[in-house]
């Protein structure tokens, strides 16, 4: 076929057109496409032009009805449109002029004034936001807990010792104020503030953690100063990863305790705000919370070293008490539901020899490595089981059963007596015992004493004997060192008893567990040796203070003091150990001391009851 015949607009020489104006089929098709495109373009332009609906109705569907409406409304509509446009333009000009004036004023200010203005604006926005949330909080009738303050001991020596402990607390607190105010902790040698990454970008851990100690010691001026800092500076709107466990016991616990002691609403509101930010940690397939949580994104994860990314018993097991109180104070049942679900998961699992391994996978709901410890990684889980029952005014029967069943398994599988007659609690790893005991485990003496009154089958006397034996063992771990300071861990093998044999166990960081056991044992037995043992610890700390002043860089590590547990736990327990019998209602009656902070026993506070032990 000739090439020419393929071209639609080229005449074939051998053919004549029937008419000079006629088109072939292909030519007609091309023209139709062009015409269709033109029509489409016209209609599209009409529809997409501004005010196209008016143009469309006025031009293409011109009718009498439209004319009538137009005649009636044309003048008024156009006047309104013109007036509206003028108002908009006037507002734009006004806003522009205002912005220029503000910019000129800002440029004339000093940098510190500009920063202060920005901070004031932030505070204003924050307060407005807080106010909206606070409207939904239930009204709580505050009742002052009996026995929290006052009632000085009648014995002159005990009174003098208590004042010495208060003096130590004041020295430590004043040093923190001077060198590290607002920071999480104080480095005592370099005298600088330190912010642990456990708290992300949240500041003021020592301030919040020490609130109840300040109140119980009647350091009211310092308490008010700390309260003001909390109100103005404590901010949880941070884009940072925090330890759910540490933030809960230090911040949520500290705020709850301060609220129950003082009745100041700022503490309740802050505790609830933080509690709400921790809720995304429970978004796992099982509801077992992550160890670490980004407070802004709500994304969680576990410590990479924890048995294949498992959650840790002492961490997810040390949320129950605070979260139950958060539900009570906020009216939001979600807090209580989250921690009650943890119990459901644990109840479904088989326990090796009745013991709770330290690691649990939050995705599969199965135990990780079979390592059991009543010290590090496990300790406060058992404490919280007992105190959940006590906090419920002994109505939480499930918590009671879980505690006493666990204690029986510990006695059977972990509790041993050395050849020298010292009772200790070993660790269990895959069916084999490791005959070591950590300083953290020494809290168990006080825990067993506290729970002995409710022990089943008349085991009260037996459990009090166990508590006394553990208290003695922990005292020996102090007495057998050169400086009379208890090591981080001590062993019962290789011919040694209650002695640290490994280098990574030979250090002391002012932990409160031994003092806590002395406090409980004195409370239940009134045996004066427990006060004497506590006073020994005070005297050693006095010597350490002298060492620190004279040999600041050669003897002590700059991380020797962790001001959170020192001010919130150790000093408070030493003070309560030398407090009067009646005043100890703060930890045994209407208030229950758990972990580091006292909070109320449900129902008891409202009725003004105090605790009278049956032993």
Q: In this structure, are residues 565 and 186 in contact, taking their beta carbons and an 8 Å threshold? A: no
Using only the alpha carbons of the chain, give its radius of gyration: 37
CA separation (Å) from 395 to 82, 387, 451, 611? 74, 11, 14, 15
Active site annotation includes 86: no
Place of tokens 């509801």: 287
Rounded Cα gap, residues 219 and 389, in angstroms: 32
CA separation (Å) from 507 to 511, 515, 568? 11, 17, 20
According to DSSP, residue 582 is labeled G
Q: In this structure, are residues 354 and 409 in contact, taking their beta carbons and an 8 Å threshold? A: yes
CA separation (Å) from 128 to 123, 276, 332, 556? 9, 18, 21, 47
Catalytic residue among 246, 396, 469, 476: 246
Active site annotation includes 135: no
Q: In this structure, are residues 161 and 535 in contact, taking their beta carbons and an 8 Å threshold? A: yes
Catalytic residue among 212, 322, 383, 488: 488
Query: Which H, E and C letters describe 339-399, residue by residue?
Result: HHHHHHHHHHCCCHHHCCCCEECCCCCCECCCEECCCCCCHHHHHHHHHHHHHCCCCCHHH
Q: In this structure, are residues 418 and 497 in contact, taking their beta carbons and an 8 Å threshold? A: yes
Rounded Cα gap, residues 210 and 223, in angstroms: 9
Catalytic residue among 212, 427, 513, 516: 513
According to DSSP, residue 495 is labeled T
Rounded Cα gap, residues 267 and 271, in angstroms: 6
CA separation (Å) from 102 to 106, 109, 173? 6, 11, 44
Place of tokens 């962790």: 562
Rounded Cα gap, residues 192 and 176, in angstroms: 9
* C-alpha 31: how far from chain center: 75
H-only helix segments in 135-252? 156-180, 205-209, 211-216, 220-233, 244-247
Catalytic residue among 209, 212, 222, 379: 379
Q: How do beta strands 371-372 and 292-294 pair?
A: unpaired
Burial class (CB in 10 A: 0-12, 13-18, 19+), 459: middle
Kindly report the number of other CB atoms within 10 A of residue 265's CB atom. 14
* C-alpha 279: how far from chain center: 9
Active site annotation includes 488: yes
* C-alpha 447: how far from chain center: 24
Active site annotation includes 246: yes
Active site members: 246, 379, 488, 513
């Amino acid at each position: 076929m000739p090439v020419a015949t393929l071209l639609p607009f080229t005449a074939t020489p051998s053919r004549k057109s029937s008419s000079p104006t006629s088109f072939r089929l292909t030519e007609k098709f091309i023209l139709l496409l062009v015409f269709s495109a033109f029509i489409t373009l016209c209609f599209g332009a009409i529809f997409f032009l501004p005010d196209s609906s008016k143009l469309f109705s006025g031009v293409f569907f011109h009718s009498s009805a439209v004319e009538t409406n137009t005649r009636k409304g044309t003048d008024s509509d156009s006047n309104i449109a013109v007036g509206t446009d003028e108002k908009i333009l006037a507002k734009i000009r006004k806003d522009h002029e205002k912005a220029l004036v503000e910019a000129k004023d800002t440029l004339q200010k000093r940098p510190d004034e500009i920063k202060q203005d920005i901070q004031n604006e932030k505070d204003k926005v924050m307060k407005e936001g807080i106010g909206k949330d606070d409207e939904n909080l239930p009204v709580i009738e505050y009742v002052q807990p009996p026995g929290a303050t006052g009632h000085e001991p009648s014995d002159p020596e005990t009174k003098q010792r208590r004042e010495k402990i208060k003096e130590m607390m004041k020295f430590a607190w004043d040093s923190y104020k001077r060198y590290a105010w607002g920071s999480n902790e104080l480095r005592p040698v370099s005298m600088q503030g330190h912010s642990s990454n456990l708290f992300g970008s949240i500041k003021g851990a020592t301030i919040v953690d020490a609130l109840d100690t300040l109140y119980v010691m009647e350091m009211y001026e310092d308490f008010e100063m700390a309260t003001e800092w909390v109100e103005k500076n404590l901010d949880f709107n941070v884009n940072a990863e925090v330890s759910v466990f540490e933030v809960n016991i230090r911040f949520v616990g500290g705020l709850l305790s301060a609220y129950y002691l003082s009745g100041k609403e700022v503490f309740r509101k802050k505790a609830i705000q933080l509690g709400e930010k921790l809720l995304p940690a429970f978004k796992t397939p099982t509801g077992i919370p992550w160890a670490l949580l980004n407070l802004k994104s709500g994304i969680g994860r576990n410590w990479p070293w924890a048995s294949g990314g498992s959650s840790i018993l002492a961490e997810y097991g040390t949320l129950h008490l605070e979260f139950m109180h958060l539900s009570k104070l906020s009216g939001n049942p979600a807090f209580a539901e989250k921690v009650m679900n943890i119990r459901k998961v644990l109840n479904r699992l088989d326990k090796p020899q009745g013991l709770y391994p330290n690691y649990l996978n939050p995705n599969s709901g199965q135990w990780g490595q079979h390592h059991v410890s009543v010290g590090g990684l496990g300790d406060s889980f058992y404490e919280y089981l007992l105190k959940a029952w006590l906090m419920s005014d002994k109505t939480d029967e499930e918590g009671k059963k879980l505690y006493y069943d666990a204690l029986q398994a510990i006695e059977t599988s972990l509790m041993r007596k050395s050849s020298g007659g010292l009772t200790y609690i070993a660790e269990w790893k895959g069916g084999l015992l490791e005959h070591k005991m950590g300083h953290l485990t020494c809290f168990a003496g006080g825990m067993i004493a506290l729970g002995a009154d409710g022990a089943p089958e008349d085991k009260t006397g037996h459990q009090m004997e166990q508590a006394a034996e553990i208290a003695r063992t922990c005292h020996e771990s102090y007495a057998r060192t050169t400086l009379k300071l208890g090591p981080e861990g001590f062993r019962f093998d290789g011919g040694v008893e209650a002695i640290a044999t490994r280098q990574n166990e030979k250090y002391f960081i002012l932990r409160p567990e031994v003092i806590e056991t002395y406090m409980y044992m004195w409370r239940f037995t009134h045996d004066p040796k427990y006060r004497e043992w506590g006073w020994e610890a005070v005297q050693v700390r006095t010597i350490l203070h002298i060492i620190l002043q004279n040999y600041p860089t050669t003897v002590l590590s700059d991380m020797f003091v962790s001001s959170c547990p020192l001010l919130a736990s150790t000093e408070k327990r030493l003070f309560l150990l030398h407090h009067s019998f009646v005043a100890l209602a703060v930890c045994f009656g209407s208030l229950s001391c758990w972990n580091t902070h006292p909070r109320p026993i449900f129902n008891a506070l409202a009725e003004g009851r105090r605790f009278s032990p049956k032993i």
